[in-house]
Structure 1
């Protein structure tokens, strides 16, 4: 009986090993993490490199990036880049991730679209910009123009506005959120990794503005130009962290596009000085000072109480944003951390 008992014990040990190391083991990710990173770099290059391949899109001392002809050519180039990147992403999700068409649409943030989630996201961004909204709408008196949809008409009438508030937000959020994030989900990156890693591609994509700025501002010291570029990388990455977080939480690309456009319009908040004197720094691409003509230099005509109110609202908005970040991004349409198990 001893040999039989010994044999049974060995089979039992083998069974435990099978349960521990094989049956309970997770399947490998559909694509390797390095593949997701390589595709992200590829999409970034596909987006940026075409700007320098044609004389119509390549900046020069004679042709700035704000020239209507340059904007039109760049819009065409960006459209082609987005189509190519979109097709490749859909192929990878379907072929390697075994995602159904419905799952592909969900991972891309296309469907279902919750307008309630979009409204909550915009409310969250408005809370953050409580101070700047107060300054622009009340102190500077732009509220009447907003109620008449004057900014929208200006966007549709200007190539620069069309680029900064329509093409830029749509194409950038499509590439760096809608396409790149699902690839990292497929590679089983954690939520924190996706939030803090993928926006770096977005920030790096803006590094080429240093070269463009040097062409159009040759007299600016190199150190100041580099500092400007580092500053831009910082705030584009910070917005990217927020955008990636909201995209994962809501699975809604529309929310991120509208938030991006809104932030471009508002610019960076004022952190010093009295309100009503000058506008903030635009958060959009260099040269995107959409309010330069009407509000870059304002005559101080308000009392100190207006300035105090602004900074109180600025701090209250930051606190409110922190407190409402999770409640206002709660959604039943949140993206999964990985594709369904097959």
Structure 2
């Protein structure tokens, strides 16, 4: 007779409780200090506010990391190497990272075509013209470094291993844990109401729902890749890449004015600080728009076809995602 399944190292309720606790540890400090607390007088983009919030999330990440390591060691009886593997920080495969970024680039083929070819930004990309300008600003550092690093370490590198210990199935981990990530952005509704008091409440709620939706969608993808590769670096870079490009254009013509990503900015997942490419002197013909949408659809199909092949890795975490 087959042996009984081993009991989970921690209970599902404990995993859920820790996930909620990590989310609160990350968000609540924003409201505990006048330096980070949103107000009509203090913009979230003010350098002083950004610096204070980065200090807060750094401390929050370290606290959550300490709790996670303790749970993995005491509850899961894991040694140092196994803990590093579950956190996704070692071993790191740069080949897996490159393959993940290729997959994301395929998905964003449309926006890359618009901003690089239609708007003529490819030469500036090659020269690295905006790298120093963006990363040298506090908003750029927040959006492309501090935000992706702290968020992916917590919602992928820490919350996912805890759910693995609780023996959640791969599908449940992929579709459940990113909801904590989405919920962590709901507090932006309060911040938005403070800075935009004249916007109707219904529109503000719709904005928050939209933000929750696209952050959760990214979370589904990020969690899937994290489980498949066991590589948190890949997810951090993919997060930064998505913040840079923003959401793709789903309607309208290209080449008429500077392509601005559609969607509301988030606290640490905003593309609002990305330098806009200057509009061309003459508007592009309709054919460019047709090509854009063809490339957009082709990119989505290529992403679908490459999702499993490009995320296959021998460093995958110990979770079964699909029956062979």
Is 1:108–2:87 an aligned residue pair?
Answer: yes
Is 1:264–1:284's contact at 8 Å kept on the other side of the alignment? no
Corresponding residue for 1:14?
Answer: none
Q: CA deviation at 1:217?
A: 0.4
Distance 1:112 1:305 in 2: 47
Corresponding residue for 1:316?
Answer: 298
Is 1:57–2:27 an aligned residue pair?
Answer: no
Is 2:30–2:56's contact at 8 Å kept on the other side of the alignment? yes
Distance 1:283 1:141 in 2: 25
Please give the TM-score of this superposition, normalised by the length of structure 1.
0.89
Corresponding residue for 1:15?
Answer: none
Corresponding residue for 1:281?
Answer: 262
Corresponding residue for 2:248?
Answer: 269
Please give the TM-score of this superposition, normalised by the length of structure 2.
0.94
Q: What are the residue-to-residue correspondences of 1:223-302 with 2, within 5 Å?
A: 223-276=202-255, 277=257, 278-281=259-262, 285=266, 288-291=271-274, 294=277, 301-302=283-284
Distance 1:299 1:45 in 2: 49
Is 1:246–1:329's contact at 8 Å kept on the other side of the alignment? yes
Gaps of 5+ in 2: none
Q: What are the residue-to-residue correspondences of 1:195-210 with 2, within 5 Å?
A: 195-210=174-189
Distance 2:277 2:109 in 1: 21
Is 1:268–1:283's contact at 8 Å kept on the other side of the alignment? no
User: 1:286-307: CA deviations, max 9, x gaps?
Assistant: 6641246555x77661111111
Is 1:265–1:282's contact at 8 Å kept on the other side of the alignment? no
Distance 2:132 2:53 in 1: 22
Aligned residues: 316
Q: 1:194 to 1:300 in 2, by over 3 A?
A: farther
Q: What are the residue-to-residue correspondences of 1:1-342 with 2, within 5 Å?
A: 19=1, 24-276=3-255, 277=257, 278-281=259-262, 285=266, 288-291=271-274, 294=277, 301-337=283-319
Q: 1:198 to 1:113 in 2, by over 3 A?
A: same
Decide which structure has the larger Cα Rg and report it.
Answer: 1
Q: Which moved more, 1:327-336 or 1:277-286?
A: 277-286
User: 1:176-219: CA deviations, max 9, x gaps?
Assistant: 00000000000000000000000000000000000000000001
Q: CA RMSD in A?
A: 1.6
Distance 1:150 1:219 in 2: 38
Structure having the larger proportion of residues in helix: 1
Is 1:64–1:70's contact at 8 Å kept on the other side of the alignment? yes
